[in-house]
Amino acid sequence: MVGIVLASHGGFADGIFQSGEMIFGEQENVAHVILKPDEGPEDIHKKMEDAVKGLDDQEQVLFLVDLWGGTPFNQASDLFAQHKDTWAIVTGMNLPMVIEAYASRFTMNTAREIATHIVETAKEGVKTMPESIMPKDAAAETAPAQDKTPKGAIPEGTVIGDGKIKYVLARVDTRLLHGQVATGWTKATNPNRIIVVSDNVAKDKLRKNMIAQAAPSGVHANTVPIKKMIEVAKDPRFGNTKAMLLFETPEDALEAIKGGVDIKELNIGSMAYSDGKVNVNQVLAMDQKDVDTFKELKKLGIKFNVRKVPSSSAENMDDLLKKAQTLIDQQKN
């Protein structure tokens, strides 16, 4: 796996490393080094040398640096001179760039391949709100990729592709579409459409707009009521759709599945705490209704993948349900 070194003036590299792990999960073979105000070039040079020594593969190293021409860049360049055939440096480090570099290590084997690839993602991460103040040339560069699904009204009964939606991920997450989903899970599953399935959110114009705006570049996001999702699941006009489904609660997922949405596995991401619920781990809180719902889903043959981000280790759902039931019973007494 390509090693990555994040380098910056001040604490920027430390902060972006922490943010990247919050969104994409813990990363191996990633180091972060900073130049403090009271340090000089030799200090950051030594830190970079030590960082590279700690990587598994010291022949494939990618430096992501804050500023071209700054001291961290100059010292990385000095080290680079000894590895011109395999190392790479990219400046202008931002969070989309770092996350894309993490994701690219699954499919790319060289530092230079990743360096070339992540530049466009870094550019696309620069946007304005309102969009009308975005420079015209930049707006064209960051426009989402064209959706190849036929536009306009498609006659009922038309079969596109094989007529069946492909569900690349179905996730229960109280927060719905947020950073970990828009980056980590989107990179891992490669959907062309994100669908939030929720009666509550479908009635809330503000939340619907926020979800549409949170979609990653090139992927459309929609919010639909559960009944509408059941209809869409049976409509052959959506045969070219690779969908990521996001449910706010397991109860919503159960209703959709019983209605005919052909989901085989549910990723359980987060379930927020509220009165009457018990915490079964850092991100999951359940009440008796949730426990019963998961048991019913299991009877229907649904498998559970309990992971916050793709790189996290999966937890055992049966163990979590037993713990939840014990805590709920204790709460009653």
**Amino acid residing at 230:** I
- Other C-beta atoms lying within 10 Å of the C-beta of residue 38: 6
- Other C-beta atoms lying within 10 Å of the C-beta of residue 45: 19
Both tokens assigned to 187: 């990179």
Beta-carbon contacts of 328 under 8 Å, excluding residues fewer than 6 positions away, are: 278, 286, 287, 288, 291
Instruction: Find residue 242's DSSP bridge partners.
Output: 166
- Other C-beta atoms lying within 10 Å of the C-beta of residue 135: 11
Q: At what angle do helices 71-80 and 41-53 cross, to 10 degrees?
A: 50
Whole-angstrom distance, CA of residue 62 vs CA of residue 123: 18
- Write down the catalytic residue from 9, 32, 83, 220: 9
Annotated active-site residue 32? The verdict is: no
Annotated active-site residue 117? The verdict is: no
Beta-carbon contacts of 2 under 8 Å, excluding residues fewer than 6 positions away, are: 29, 57, 60, 61, 62, 105, 108, 109, 110, 111, 114
- Write down the catalytic residue from 83, 117, 178, 220: 178
Cα R_g (the chain), whole angstroms: 23
Whole-angstrom distance, CA of residue 309 vs CA of residue 179: 10
Q: Phi, psi (5° rounding) for residue 151?
A: -95, 165
Q: Phi, psi (5° rounding) for residue 210?
A: -65, -40
Kindly list the catalytic residues. 9, 178
